[in-house]
Amino acid sequence: MDMKNELRALGMLELKSIAKGFYCADTVVKTAEVELVKATPICPGKFIILIQGGIAAVAAALEAGRNMCGDYVVDSFLLGNPHEHVFGALADTYTFEKTQAMGVVETWAVPAALVAADQGAKAAQSDVVKVGLAQQLGGKAYVVFTGEVAAVQASVEAAVNDLRVSAKLIDTTVIPNPDLKLWEALV
C-alpha cells in the first residue's frame, strides 16, 4: 500500500476476548485497505489490533470492528497523522547516537500510551525510543522519550495533559542523565 501521498493514521482496538480479537482483526482488515501492524493477545487475557493506513480507511475499519465486536471492545482510538517517531518506536528501530535524558509515561491502557507517544513527540524536540504494549506488563503500557532534559520534560508534560492519557495515567519520570547500562537494557 502506498501511503506517501496520503495522510497516515494509526488505529487500535483493545478487546477483552482473545477469540473475539482474532475474529475482529479479520473483520477489520477485510473492511478497508489498511495494514495490520499487530494482532496479538496481551496481558491479562486481552487482545489488541493495531492498524495503519489512510485516515478514512482506518476510520472505516475501526468502525466495522467496533460494530462487529461491540461489548468486547475495551478501548479504541484513531490517531490521525501521528509523529513519525511513533512508527519507529513501535517497530523497535530506534538507534542511539548518544545517551541523553530519559522520560517515561506509564498508563493502564495501550491506546493511551500511543497517544502519549504522539503528543510528546509533537510537543518538543525529543525522540520516542520505545512504546511497550502490554506484553508481560499486566495490561499496562509505556512510552520512553529521549533528548535534552527540557525537551523530555516538555514531552512528558504534553503527553499527560491529553485527557486520553491522563485518564489512564499511572506514573511518569524524567531521568536527567541515565546510565548507559539502562539504555542498553531498554533496547
For the chain, the structural domain boundaries read 8-80, 84-186
Out of 42-46, 86-90, 110-114, 141-145, least confident range: 86-90
Question: Which residue's entry shows cell 496479538?
Answer: 40
Question: Tens digit of pLDDT for each residue in 124-156?
Answer: 888 888 888 766 566 788 999 999 999 999 999
Angle of CA points 119, 125, 128, to nearest 5°: 55
Angle of CA points 129, 105, 49, to nearest 5°: 75
Quick check: 66 pLDDT over 90?
A: yes
Residue 93's pLDDT band, with cuts at 50, 70 and 90, is low
- pLDDT at 3 (0 to 100): 44
CATH superfamily of 84-186: BMC (bacterial microcompartment) domain (3.30.70.1710)
Residues of the chain above pLDDT 90, percent: 56
Quick check: 2 pLDDT over 60?
A: no
- pLDDT at 4 (0 to 100): 47
For residues 11 and 83, which has the higher predicted lDDT (pLDDT)?
A: 11
Residue 182's pLDDT band, with cuts at 50, 70 and 90, is confident
Which whole-number Å values give the CA distances from 122 to 41, 78, 82, 99, 183, in the listed order?
29, 16, 8, 21, 23
Question: Rounded to an integer, what distance in angstroms lies between the CA atom of residue 93 and that of residue 71?
Answer: 35
Question: Tens digit of pLDDT for each residue in 10-31?
Answer: 999 999 999 999 999 999 999 9
Is CATH 3.30.70.1710 the right assignment for the domain spanning 8-80? yes
Tell me the pLDDT of the chain averaged across its residues. Answer: 87
Residues near 110 by beta carbon (within 8 Å), at least 6 away in sequence: 12, 14, 42, 48, 75, 133, 134, 141
